[in-house]
Amino acid sequence: MNQTAFKSFIFISALLAIIADFFEINLLFYFLKPLTTSLIILFLLKHRDTAAKAYSNLVIIGLLFCLGGDTFLLFPDFFAFGLGAFLIGHLWFIAAFVKENGWKFPLKIGIPLAIFGSILYSLIYPDLGKLFLPVAVYMIVIVIMSWQGIALTIKSTKITFNRVGLAVSLFLFSDALIALNKFYAPISFSGVIILTTYWMAIFLLAKSATNREEI
């Protein structure tokens, strides 16, 4: 299956999942949410860049943990497990970025990210309860992941990495909406926005590990 056909399947699955979530068709959503993420992983497995096998392997592992997180988050009682799965996924993404670019800490990126993370955490902290520490750790990890991902886009000359900065920014935005919607105040159309930005983020991460000749 070529990339265009694969992308079409991913788009249709994501669109149907978003519609199912919006109209609270739960059984359909429970099927389509992990299916969409699985299709993105399969897309990467089929079109991965064999010349950058280490990077693509790390991204695949990170996406597999995202799939686990997707599954856990379908059930409210397993929120902490979902949080943990995504946290581990972010660590694998960090490993992928550092593998290609080394550790880079440009302050012009890190300071705004740290401020954003601090403000977000201060808003949700009063309602976190026992989750205050896990969420704090998660916040630190996703800020570092975003920092390294944006730095990779800026520093690298490889065309396949020009979308990583956008991917991690979308991931951070999606997670911020989840946190605000769950622990601060309900947000209109939050499900639509969260799912759209999340799947855009992980698809762009998958694309960053595909064969550049097929882009």
Residue 172: name the closest of 125, 206, 139, 204 by CA.
Answer: 139
Exposure string for 14-53, b = 16+ CB within 10 A, e = fewer: bebbbebbeeeeeeebbebbbbbbbbbbebbeebbbeebe
Q: How many C-beta atoms surround the C-beta of residue 9 within 10 A?
A: 15
Domains contained in the chain, number: 1
- CA 14, distance to chain mean position in Å, is 14
Alpha helices per DSSP H over the chain: 3-22, 26-47, 53-73, 79-101, 107-124, 132-155, 164-183, 190-208
Residue with tokens 């799947």: 199
Spell out the per-residue pLDDT of the chain, length 215, in tens.
Answer: 788 899 999 999 999 999 999 999 999 999 999 999 999 999 999 999 888 899 999 999 999 999 999 999 999 999 999 999 999 999 999 999 999 999 999 999 999 999 999 999 999 999 999 999 999 999 999 999 999 999 999 988 788 899 999 999 999 999 999 999 999 999 999 999 999 999 999 999 999 999 754 44
pTM exceeding the 0.85 threshold for the entire prediction: yes
DSSP code, position 201: H
Per the DSSP assignment, residues forming a β-bridge with 210 are: 48
Domain coverage including residue 74: 3-214
Q: Which two tokens stand for residue 170?
A: 């979308």
